[in-house]
Amino acid sequence: MFSSKGKQKKQVDLTEGSIVKALISFAVPLFFSQLLQQFYNMADAWVVGNFASNDAFAAVSMSSNLIFLVIGLFNGIAIGGGVVISRYYGSKDEVQTSIAIHANLLFGIIAAVVSTIAGTLLVPQLLKLMNTPDSVMPEALNYFGIYFAGVSTVIMYNTCMSIMRAVGDSVRPLYYLLISCIVNVFLDLLFVAVFGWGAGGAAFATVIAQGLSVVLCLVRMCSGKDAIKIQIKELFSFRKDAMMKIIRQGLPGGIQNTVNSIGNMVVQSCINSFGAYAISGYGAFQKVEGVAFLPIMAMCMALPTFVSQNLGAGEIDRAKKGTVIGIAAGAIFAQTIAVIMYFLAPQLLRIFVSSPEALEYGIGHSRIVVWFFFLLSFTHCAAGALRGCGKAMIPMITLLVCWCGIRILYVTTAVKLFPVFQSISWAYPLTWGLSAIILLVCLLRLDWENAKV
């Protein structure tokens, strides 16, 4: 199964050859996959922003934090499952690789059911807690109601992606996502611009298109003849040990996602208190930042798989060198992007919003935070490397303390003392810097020889 002759060309062997070439070969498809994923969100935002009301755009703009609160736990566990699969795959253990793949997919099915129920029941109450303006509430309820009715497609997509990437295949997910992205754009225009369904139309388009990508992934995984092949009879053979290993590895990241989402919701609540234009301006910046930061996020996503596969293969020095190269590349990319965003912020934000009031909020925020992107990049890359080493608890605790606890304390205090939007903006450089310092110390003190999943 794992012989070099039998390997699929679309799967990258991260344990051999040039480190730089291996990382780039694996990260480039991840970059384009993330670009297309962002295009999902951008298409929704652009269509709603240009063919619906500002309230509809505000509803879509504030969606990411609330959605991630519900599905972040399960996405984190899926990523942790990918680390387990990578370790077995790197050590050429066919039996355990197959068991881990089936256990991860079964967990995704369970998570899809739970997320649908939780999202449907909790979202209305959470929107009220977030100080959602009365004018935005109808569009928000419509958007989230439809989205969470079909959230299983999102959960299963992320689960399938984590499995395929764990065995070095970052190309096929890109193909599938490209197809579904084209469908999403077409449906966005049809449902929002033609039918006038507002934010709800954008949610409906996303669910349908995301479902298509899941179908394509499952067809590939059921029909394949390599390490990734899924057998239905094995899928529901509950393997307690494999499931617990996946949960142990992924739960810290999942908890981190969920609690950080709570912190982001508190920040979003403070942003909401400045009104619909502040929501729109900040939301437009998030869309631009999401695309601009994709090269860094691709490297962050590549590092856990790279490190885990090489540790599984006993290539400890290679894992360490790859971590250094990945972190350095991310920081360089981040500051290059910062310069571009600083000078082009007005033009980039106008892609999504046109009102002068919203632009003022978005531009002001970007001019503060972009110069500290290297800290954000370091934190993400270092956290990814630590997860690949099986040390998921370290980034979890660090980010919970810095990105949730300290950020909430700072924002709630600063806005009361200095009730201007810039008080919120400065929360990000402060907490990025603290987390970067802590993770740097942890990496320098890491015992690579005994790193285990």
Residue 32 is part of which domain span?
19-450
Cα separation, 92 vs 86, whole angstroms: 10
- Structure tokens, 32: 């384009």
The mean predicted confidence, pLDDT, of the chain is 83
Q: What is the pLDDT of residue 373?
A: 92
Q: What is the pLDDT of residue 226?
A: 64
Tally of structural domains, the chain: 1
Residue 32 amino acid letter: F
What would the pLDDT profile of 140-180 be if each residue is shown by its tens digit?
888 888 988 898 898 898 888 888 888 878 788 888 888 88
Domain membership of residue 8 (yes or no) is: no
CB neighbour list of residue 75: distance below 8 Å, 6 or more residues apart: 68, 155, 158, 254, 257
Query: Is 135 within 8 Å of 276 (Cβ atoms)?
Result: yes
Domain membership of residue 168 (yes or no) is: yes
Confidence of residue 3 (pLDDT cuts 50, 70, 90): very low
Supply the pTM of this predicted model: 0.71
Cα separation, 163 vs 106, whole angstroms: 12
Query: Is 315 within 8 Å of 349 (Cβ atoms)?
Result: no
Domain membership of residue 1 (yes or no) is: no
Cα separation, 238 vs 77, whole angstroms: 17
Q: 256 vs 9, which has greater pLDDT?
A: 256
Q: Report the pLDDT averaged over residues 277-303.
A: 84
- Structure tokens, 28: 């480039």
Query: Is 74 within 8 Å of 108 (Cβ atoms)?
Result: yes
Q: Where are the alpha helices (DSSP H) in 313-352?
A: 316-349
Residue 10: pLDDT over 90: no
The number of helix segments (H) and strand segments (E) in the chain equals 19, 0
> 11 pairs with which residues across the strands?
169
Residue 7: pLDDT over 50: no
Confidence of residue 227 (pLDDT cuts 50, 70, 90): low
What would the pLDDT profile of 14-54 be if each residue is shown by its tens digit?
888 888 888 888 888 878 877 777 776 677 777 887 777 77
Domain membership of residue 324 (yes or no) is: yes
Residue 288, H or E segment: helix 276-292
What would the pLDDT profile of 184-208 be if each residue is shown by its tens digit?
889 988 998 888 888 888 889 989 9
Q: What is the pLDDT of residue 5?
A: 43
Most distant CA atoms of the chain, gap in Å: 65
Domain membership of residue 436 (yes or no) is: yes
Cα separation, 312 vs 332, whole angstroms: 29
Domain membership of residue 2 (yes or no) is: no
